Amino acid sequence: MTGVVDSFGRSIGYLRISVTDRCNLRCLYCMPPEGVPKIAQSEILSYEEICAVARAGAELGIRKVRLTGGEPLVRAGLPGLVRMLSQIDGIQELSLTTNGTLLKQYAPALKEAGLSRVNVSLDTLKADRFRCITCAGELSDVLEGIEATRNTGLHPVKINVVVIRGTNDDEILDFAEMTRKAEWHVRFIELMPFKGTAEFVPSIELRHQISSMGKLEPCHDSAGPAGNGPAAYYRLTGAKGTIGFISPLSEPSFCSRCNRMRLTPDGKLRPCLLREDEIDLRTPLRNNASSEALKRLIQKAVASKPERHHLEAGSNPCPKAATSRGVMNRRMSQIGG
């Protein structure tokens, strides 16, 4: 067990760092086509400030760091941040979640700087539908980025698919087939109710569909990319890749395995994605807080981590995700979900 232990016995050893709220796409479930008000550049943490937080976290037992956005690769000089973080003692895995459109350009530099692996968000394999879901961009850019990442040696590349009923749920078998044809590690994610205008598809329904293709065998660490994250992994018999299911809405025990904290672009530490509680790290950082002071704030955030979210599957009609404390005041792009 690594990391700081919270009030419910969970070891928190994973920090997700959103480096920007900017993105070059406008995915329907993430932000409106016109975008959202941007965080002022002066409020965004510098790379040095991000590293100060990561270093304090590592001293407490944080072992995994993931860079997110917005789209992290739109922030200038990101390989430089990767290099800085990779040199922090204690961090054992440094990964990136991206929409993949810029990966072909940056994959070699990211690998050279010390990145461990990449997750790519991709919700469709159809070019016209990709333009519709993202309101911009070309599917070919993402597919070329995935291939470039694999050729660079950033393994395994995981493909995150947010399933939306009536939008892309007719492609489940197509994605599953990709795990047979190539070493794709596809993870189907239940839609979080940040919009309320679309319906999520429960993982059990997806498993039933995919079972029509053959037996789904549980996949453990020795057989694939399974780790201590939120996904349950399976493999179709004889497949090169794997299929994962991330079920925050339909799985009652989902939160019991949560091992993460989130740092927003403007320096707020969030114990839970779906709660408004935040601890300000930017102000202490800019007042020259010591590493010990930062560690105390991180420990305070861990202590405030709730046992679980309070979303009832499929019951959120509000335009932004509701929590036990009301409507969330940040979009997903501003949190780095």
Work out the pLDDT band at 72, boundaries 50, 70, 90: very high
312 has a pLDDT exceeding 70: no
State the pLDDT at residue 194: 59
Q: Let me know if 35 is exposed, middle or buried by CB neighbors in 10 A (0-12, 13-18, 19+).
A: middle
Token pair belonging to 274 = 């779906």
What tokens were used for 145?
């980025």
Q: Could you tell me if 178 and 186 are in contact, meaning their C-beta atoms sit under 8 angstroms apart?
A: yes
pTM of full prediction above 0.85: yes
Band of the pLDDT at 326, cuts 50, 70, 90? very low
On the question of pLDDT at 324 being above 70, the answer is no
pLDDT digits (tens, 9 = 90+) for 132-161: 999 988 999 999 999 999 999 998 999 999
Candidates 131, 128, 161, 162; CA nearest to 146 is 161
Residue 217, judged by CB atoms within 10 A of its CB (0-12, 13-18, 19+), counts as middle
Q: At what angle do helices 172-181 and 203-211 cross, to 10 degrees?
A: 60
| More confident: 18 or 27 | 18
Residue 300's H or E segment, with its range, is helix 291-303
Residue 139 is encoded by which pair of tokens? 């599917």
Tell me the longest C-alpha to C-alpha distance in the chain: 59
Q: Which domains does the chain have, with CATH numbers?
A: 4-335 (3.20.20.70)
Instruction: Count CB-CB contacts under 10 A for residue 119.
Output: 19
**Tokens for 180?**
């047979």
